[in-house]
């Protein structure tokens, strides 16, 4: 049962990921006319303009590889910054740099400084194409002013561990990093910037995505301090960064450019892939195999373990006689209280397994929770699968399984007892997907 249910859900996931492939998304958005002019989302770039490329994030190299095929000898230069394992072959004119994620490192700081130097040299008549995807905030952490990289690293750790969502985390990041909050666009010397983005943030907010390097920032230094206070971090927050934010709140430092700032007038942005597209593809894949399918929407939010329990309870109580797939998207958080290792998708899956083990699975058959980028937290797994009929298979006992969850050690649980999903880098990044199979029987849809 578990093998066939898992095979079916993995097939659906593969179809969903293919729909938001970064290379395909760029090819759908960029074209050429008969006169050699480029068309980016309906906006024409004349053949006389040179093209510069700035790629930032986990999917940046994949996006850049597609773009350079389209622009050919019009490429004048640029830089691509991505994470380890996410590289792609690129021409010499477009250097590739690797940087740390989720923990910022000195490689990212050097690459960010190199990128700023690059965009300041672009001729005014040329065009900068910025390719954005998730992970860019950490990968381009270049401290502002008197700040040190260690200040940003420690702040990043505290914000990730306290359960802050990405909007809150990036509110702080945008007020301590030199590329964030519209500063990359402000630094560029050209008059036109085209942004193509894969959205990995709830609501597809361009000011939050990758900390908005080319977007107006509606938040302030005071908002950043509000995040720190809301999560009770002021006492242990890096002193340099805290003083930096306080100076900004007093008006001693300039705010990042707000929406509508004249410095951003030449920026045009297009989201080329998003979570909703992946969910729609998952629904279509299920229906193509004869199942009903329901898009639950972008409901994944809040604590991963709480969402896992809720989804499991909902699936348990579903009244479905025939096979049905439920598809949910979004991004949960994990508040670290233990010393284990895992990611939000693995924690959600383990919490679901415990719910089913205690209360029964009802009409639920299986659950697959995955990060669309192929990496869940600081692990080599994308997420995890749970067989609802046998949710803690081979685990020594229910209390033992609960101890794994209490220690935030979902990776160790699934590694020992089965269920880890490993995809490797996927070439995209549009938040997370949870697929739940309810009703019918797994063999009805698995193709077995």
- Predicted local distance difference test score (pLDDT) of residue 4: 79
Say if residues 103 and 153 touch (Cβ distance below 8 Å): yes
- Predicted local distance difference test score (pLDDT) of residue 2: 44
- Predicted local distance difference test score (pLDDT) of residue 141: 97
- Mean pLDDT in order along the chain per 10 residues (448 residues): 78 98 97 86 93 98 97 96 96 97 95 98 98 96 96 96 94 97 98 97 95 98 98 96 98 97 96 98 96 97 98 91 92 96 97 96 95 96 96 80 96 94 96 94 50
- Predicted local distance difference test score (pLDDT) of residue 3: 53
Which domains, ranges and CATH numbers included, belong to the chain?
Answer: 21-142+177-220+255-273 (3.40.50.10180), 275-444 (3.40.1480.10)
d(CA 360, CA 364) in angstroms, rounded, equals 9
- Predicted local distance difference test score (pLDDT) of residue 394: 63
- Predicted local distance difference test score (pLDDT) of residue 441: 64
Say if residues 405 and 397 touch (Cβ distance below 8 Å): no
- Predicted local distance difference test score (pLDDT) of residue 447: 47
Strand intervals (E) in 84-221? 96-99, 127-132, 192-198
- Predicted local distance difference test score (pLDDT) of residue 393: 73
Mean confidence (pLDDT) of the chain:
94
Residue 197, beta-bridge partner list: 132, 271
d(CA 361, CA 313) in angstroms, rounded, equals 8
Joined together, the tokens standing for residue 423 give: 């995809």
- Predicted local distance difference test score (pLDDT) of residue 448: 42
């Amino acid at each position: 049962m578990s093998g066939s249910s898992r095979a079916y859900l993995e097939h659906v996931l593969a179809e969903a990921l293919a729909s938001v492939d970064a290379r395909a998304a760029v090819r759908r958005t960029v074209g050429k006319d008969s006169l050699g002019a480029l068309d980016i989302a309906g906006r024409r770039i004349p053949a006389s303009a040179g093209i510069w490329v700035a790629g930032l994030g986990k999917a940046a190299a994949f996006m850049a590889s597609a773009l350079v095929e389209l622009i050919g000898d019009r490429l004048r230069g640029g830089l691509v910054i991505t994470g380890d394992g996410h590289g792609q072959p690129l021409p010499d004119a477009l250097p590739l740099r690797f940087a740390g994620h989720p923990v910022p490192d000195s490689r990212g700081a050097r690459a960010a400084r190199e990128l700023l130097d690059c965009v300041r040299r672009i001729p005014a008549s040329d065009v900068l194409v910025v390719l954005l995807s998730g992970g860019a905030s950490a990968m381009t952490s270049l401290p502002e002013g008197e700040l040190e990289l260690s200040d940003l690293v420690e702040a990043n750790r505290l914000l990730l561990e306290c359960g802050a969502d990405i909007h809150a985390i990036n509110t702080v990041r945008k007020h301590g990093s030199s590329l964030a909050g519209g500063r990359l666009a402000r630094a560029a010397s050209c008059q036109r910037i085209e942004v193509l983005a894969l959205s990995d943030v709830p609501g597809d907010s361009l000011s939050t995505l990758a900390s908005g390097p080319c977007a107006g920032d509606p938040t302030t230094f005071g908002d950043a301090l509000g995040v720190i206070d809301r999560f009770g971090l002021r006492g242990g927050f890096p002193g340099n960064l805290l003083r930096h934010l306080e100076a900004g709140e007093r008006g001693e430092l300039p705010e990042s450019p707000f929406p509508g700032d004249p410095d951003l007038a030449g920026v045009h942005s297009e989201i080329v892939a998003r979570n909703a597209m992946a969910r729609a593809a998952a629904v279509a894949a299920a229906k193509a195999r004869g199942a009903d399918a329901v898009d639950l929407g972008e409901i994944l939010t809040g604590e991963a373990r709480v969402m896992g329990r809720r989804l499991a309870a909902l699936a348990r109580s579903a009244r479905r006689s025939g096979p049905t797939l439920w598809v949910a998207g979004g991004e949960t958080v994990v508040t670290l209280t233990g010393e284990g290792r895992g990611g939000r998708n693995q924690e959600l899956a383990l919490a679901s397994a415990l719910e089913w083990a205690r209360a029964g699975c009802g009409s639920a058959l299986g659950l697959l929770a995955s990060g669309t980028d192929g990496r869940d937290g600081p692990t080599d797994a994308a997420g995890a699968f749970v067989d609802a009929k046998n949710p803690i298979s081979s685990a020594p006992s229910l209390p033992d399984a609960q101890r794994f969850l209490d220690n935030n050690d979902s990776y160790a649980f699934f590694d020992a007892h089965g269920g880890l999903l490993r995809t490797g880098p996927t070439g995209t990044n549009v938040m997370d997907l949870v697929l739940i199979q309810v009703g019918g029987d797994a063999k009805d849809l698995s193709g077995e």
